[in-house]
């Protein structure tokens, strides 16, 4: 039975690197019909915080990485002490005050790795004796980790390669306690966009921040998957349920991948395109509510028609209230470009005529609006663009956006008249 675990310390939020480790463990368990264990490594009582624990659990659930079992190391301190006592009794460890220290004997350790080509080789003569239990009676990471991985029957340890130096220190504890040694797979680190380690500036933001920024959980897991594995060919969009059928930890990339926000943006927009209008409405709703764009008692039909206009244009869910603000405001804000366009010329005559044409339409739909608009520019002997651009600026305060005639249909006759009238000078 394949049993894997993700073992976060609740001393900070779940970041991109941790989320990828969790995802690879979860996927491997699902792919092989195994179990995914979540182990909270809260041995550092001073630095472990409830708010981080909640954030980690929420983020994992949001990503869809549900666990089969959960354990808290803070509830298992006595167990670690008992095992340390065993090592004392066998003469393999000694006491220093309250602390219990493991006697390291020189030996060469060779550990095969499921991802790396070369096994990890290590000479224990370069390390000092290892603390198992600290003087405050709390266990060290390397000790508690081994006891738990053994007792929880973890078969495969999949973690970041920043832990490579810990692995031999753990192997000597397995040996001393006579525990079977699991298999190891060390994932190459994720690099920042500009090379170097992932930092806050180059992408190491908490998963919950990506959620707030309006990334879909499916897009984030798809992107994290690409940061260390490929489904083959040039396929880049792959949902977890499909990845489960193909994933094997042995196929994980051997070299570090760089975090690339533009790529994540692209993946996110692909997932937005897959949603139905109704699904997308439900997802953008909290962002619109938060911006005060809509109230709880919003006009669903209106919101849905606005969602349809922007679904191909937004990259993140948070783009929606920004791009579509003019559909919900009474007082428009004008971008400098839009303001400039409207100041360039007096459009009183054109806008007045356009209002007349709009008023005469029986059916105020996109097609009729476009026909009336095109016949007006023909009569005025101007190019369509000469009127489209100022009208767009007057109606939306922006110089880019959805097709003008679709926009006009959704905005409706009354609002169009009000907005154009602001630019008609009385004579
Ligand atoms: N608590 C350790 C960490 O967050 C776990 C490392 C491991 O997977 O063994 O880095």
pLDDT, tens only, 39-87: 999 999 999 999 999 999 999 999 999 999 999 999 999 999 999 999 9
Indicate which atom in ligand 1 lies nearest the CA of residue 18.
4
The tally of domains found in the chain comes to: 4
Shared-domain flag, residues 107 and 161: yes
Pocket test for ligand 1, best of 41, 53, 171 (most atoms within 8 A of CB): 41
How many whole angstroms from 192 Cα to the centroid of ligand 1? 21
Average pLDDT, the chain: 96
**Total count of residues recorded for the chain:** 427
Find the mean pLDDT for residues 154-182.
Answer: 97
**pLDDT attached to residue 202:** 67
Summarised one tens digit per residue, pLDDT across range 206-237 is 999 999 999 999 999 999 999 999 998 999 99
User: Residue 396: how many CB atoms within 10 A of its CB?
Assistant: 25
Complete DSSP assignment for 38-102: EEE----TTT--HHHHHHHHHHHHHHT---SEEEEGGG-HHHHHHHHHHHHHTTSEEEETTEEEE
Spatial distance between the Cα atoms of 247 and 229, rounded to a whole number of angstroms: 8
How many whole angstroms from 159 Cα to the centroid of ligand 1? 7
Shared-domain flag, residues 287 and 346: no
- 365 occurs within a structural domain: yes
How many whole angstroms from 312 Cα to the centroid of ligand 1? 40
Summarised one tens digit per residue, pLDDT across range 361-370 is 999 999 999 9
Shared-domain flag, residues 103 and 180: yes
Summarised one tens digit per residue, pLDDT across range 127-152 is 999 999 999 999 999 999 999 999 99
Shared-domain flag, residues 320 and 342: no
- 267 occurs within a structural domain: no
Candidates 49, 90, 108, 200; catalytic one: 200
- 268 occurs within a structural domain: no
How many whole angstroms from 405 Cα to the centroid of ligand 1? 56
Indicate which atom in ligand 1 lies nearest the CA of residue 157.
8
- 270 occurs within a structural domain: no
In which band, very low, low, confident or very high, does the pLDDT at 198 lie, cut at 50, 70 and 90? confident
Complete DSSP assignment for 94-152: EEETTEEEEPPPP-EEEE-BSSSSSPEEEEGGGS--EEEE-TTSPBPHHHHHHHHHHHT
Shared-domain flag, residues 116 and 163: yes
- CA torsion 312-283-324-204 (nearest 10°) is -80
How many whole angstroms from 231 Cα to the centroid of ligand 1? 27
Whether the pLDDT of residue 199 is over 90: the answer is no
Indicate which atom in ligand 1 lies nearest the CA of residue 159.
8
**pLDDT attached to residue 365:** 97
**pLDDT attached to residue 205:** 85
Who's near 18: CB < 8 A, 6+ residues apart?
Answer: 6, 8, 56
Whether the pLDDT of residue 427 is over 90: the answer is no
Find the mean pLDDT for residues 90-105.
Answer: 98
Shared-domain flag, residues 61 and 143: no
Shared-domain flag, residues 212 and 175: no
Find the mean pLDDT for residues 100-125.
Answer: 96
Whether the pLDDT of residue 196 is over 90: the answer is no
Decide which of 327, 346, 368 is a domain's last residue.
Answer: 327
Is 200 assigned a catalytic role? Answer: yes
Rounded to 5 degrees, what are φ and ψ at 305? Answer: -70, -30
Spatial distance between the Cα atoms of 187 and 180, rounded to a whole number of angstroms: 22
Shared-domain flag, residues 83 and 180: yes
Q: Which two tokens stand for residue 90?
A: 């066998």
Indicate which atom in ligand 1 lies nearest the CA of residue 162.
10
Find the mean pLDDT for residues 348-356.
Answer: 97
Spatial distance between the Cα atoms of 51 and 11, rounded to a whole number of angstroms: 9
Decide which of 134, 164, 187 is a domain's last residue.
Answer: 187
**pLDDT attached to residue 98:** 96
Shared-domain flag, residues 155 and 166: yes
Whether the pLDDT of residue 192 is over 90: the answer is no
Spatial distance between the Cα atoms of 172 and 170, rounded to a whole number of angstroms: 5
Shared-domain flag, residues 244 and 369: no
CATH of the domain at 244: 3.40.50.620
**pLDDT attached to residue 426:** 79
Shared-domain flag, residues 228 and 371: no
CATH of the domain at 296: 1.10.8.70
- 200 occurs within a structural domain: yes
Whether the pLDDT of residue 94 is over 90: the answer is yes
Indicate which atom in ligand 1 lies nearest the CA of residue 7.
5
- 98 occurs within a structural domain: yes
Summarised one tens digit per residue, pLDDT across range 246-275 is 999 999 999 998 999 999 999 999 999 999
| Domain housing 291 | 275-327
Find the mean pLDDT for residues 118-131.
Answer: 96
Q: What is the DSSP letter of 162?
A: G
The residue whose CA is least distant from atom 5 of ligand 1 is: 7
CATH of the domain at 396: 1.10.10.350
Summarised one tens digit per residue, pLDDT across range 290-331 is 999 999 999 999 999 999 999 999 999 999 999 999 999 999
Whether the pLDDT of residue 5 is over 80: the answer is yes
Decide which of 262, 286, 304 is a domain's last residue.
Answer: 262
How many whole angstroms from 172 Cα to the centroid of ligand 1? 18
Find the mean pLDDT for residues 2-14.
Answer: 97
In which band, very low, low, confident or very high, does the pLDDT at 204 lie, cut at 50, 70 and 90? low
Spatial distance between the Cα atoms of 95 and 101, rounded to a whole number of angstroms: 6
User: Residue 299: how many CB atoms within 10 A of its CB?
Assistant: 12
The residues lining ligand 1, judged by C-beta closer than 6 Å to any ligand atom, are: 7-9, 41, 145, 159, 163
- Do 296 and 289 meet the contact criterion of CB atoms below 8 Å apart? yes
- 426 occurs within a structural domain: no
- CA torsion 110-112-117-118 (nearest 10°) is 0
What crossing angle do the helices spanning 384-396 and 413-421 adopt, rounded to 10°? 100
Spatial distance between the Cα atoms of 74 and 58, rounded to a whole number of angstroms: 20
In which band, very low, low, confident or very high, does the pLDDT at 90 lie, cut at 50, 70 and 90? very high
**pLDDT attached to residue 146:** 98
- 84 occurs within a structural domain: yes
Q: What is the DSSP letter of 389?
A: H
Shared-domain flag, residues 174 and 97: yes
Q: Which two tokens stand for residue 37?
A: 């264990």
Specify the 3-state DSSP secondary structure of 153: coil
In which band, very low, low, confident or very high, does the pLDDT at 195 lie, cut at 50, 70 and 90? confident
Q: 201-226 burial string, b = 16+ CB within 10 Å, else e?
A: ebbbbbbbebbebbbbbbbbbbbbbb
Complete DSSP assignment for 222-251: HHHHHTT---STT-----HHHHHHH--GGG
């Amino acid at each position: 039975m394949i049993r894997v675990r993700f073992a976060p310390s609740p001393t900070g939020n779940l970041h991109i690197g941790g989320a990828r480790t969790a995802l690879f463990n979860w996927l491997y368990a699902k792919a092989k019909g195994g179990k995914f264990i979540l182990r909270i490594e809260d041995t550092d009582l001073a630095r472990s915080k409830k708010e981080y624990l909640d954030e980690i659990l929420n983020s994992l659930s949001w990503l869809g990485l549900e666990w089969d079992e959960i354990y808290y190391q803070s509830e298992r301190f006595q167990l670690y002490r008992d095992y340390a006592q065993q090592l004392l009794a066998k003469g393999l460890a000694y006491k220093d005050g309250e602390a219990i220290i493991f006697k390291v004997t020189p030996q060469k350790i060779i550990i095969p790795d499921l991802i790396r080509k070369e096994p990890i080789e290590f000479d224990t003569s370069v390390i000092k004796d290892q603390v198992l239990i600290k003087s405050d009676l709390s266990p060290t990471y390397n000790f508690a980790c081994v006891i738990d991985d053994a007792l929880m029957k973890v078969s495969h340890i999949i973690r970041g390669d920043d832990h490579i130096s810990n692995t031999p220190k753990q192997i000597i504890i397995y040996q001393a306690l006579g525990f079977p040694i699991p298999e190891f797979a060390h994932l190459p680190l994720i690099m920042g966009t500009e090379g170097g380690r992932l930092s806050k500036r180059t992408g190491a933001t908490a998963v919950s921040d990506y959620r707030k920024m309006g990334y879909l959980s499916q897009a984030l897991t798809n992107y994290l998957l690409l940061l260390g594995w490929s489904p083959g060919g040039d396929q880049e969009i792959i949902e977890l349920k499909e990845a489960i059928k193909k994933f094997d930890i042995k196929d994980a990339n051997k070299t570090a991948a760089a975090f690339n926000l533009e790529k994540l943006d692209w993946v996110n927009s692909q997932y937005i395109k897959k949603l139905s209008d109704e699904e997308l409405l439900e997802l953008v709703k909290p962002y619109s509510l938060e911006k005060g764009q809509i109230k709880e008692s919003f006009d669903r039909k209106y919101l849905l028609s606005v969602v349809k206009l922007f679904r191909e244009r937004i990259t993140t869910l948070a783009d929606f209230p920004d791009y579509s603000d003019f559909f919900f405001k009474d007082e428009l804000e004008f971008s400098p470009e839009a303001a400039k366009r409207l100041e360039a010329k007096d459009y009183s005559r054109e806008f007045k005529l356009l209002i007349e044409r709009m008023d005469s339409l029986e059916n105020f739909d996109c097609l009729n609006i476009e026909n009336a608009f095109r016949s007006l520019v023909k009569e005025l002997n101007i190019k369509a663009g000469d009127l489209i651009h100022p009208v767009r600026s007057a109606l939306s305060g922006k110089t880019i956006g959805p097709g003008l005639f679709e926009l006009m249909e959704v905005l409706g006759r009354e609002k169009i008249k009000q907005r154009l009238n602001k630019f008609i000078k009385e004579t």
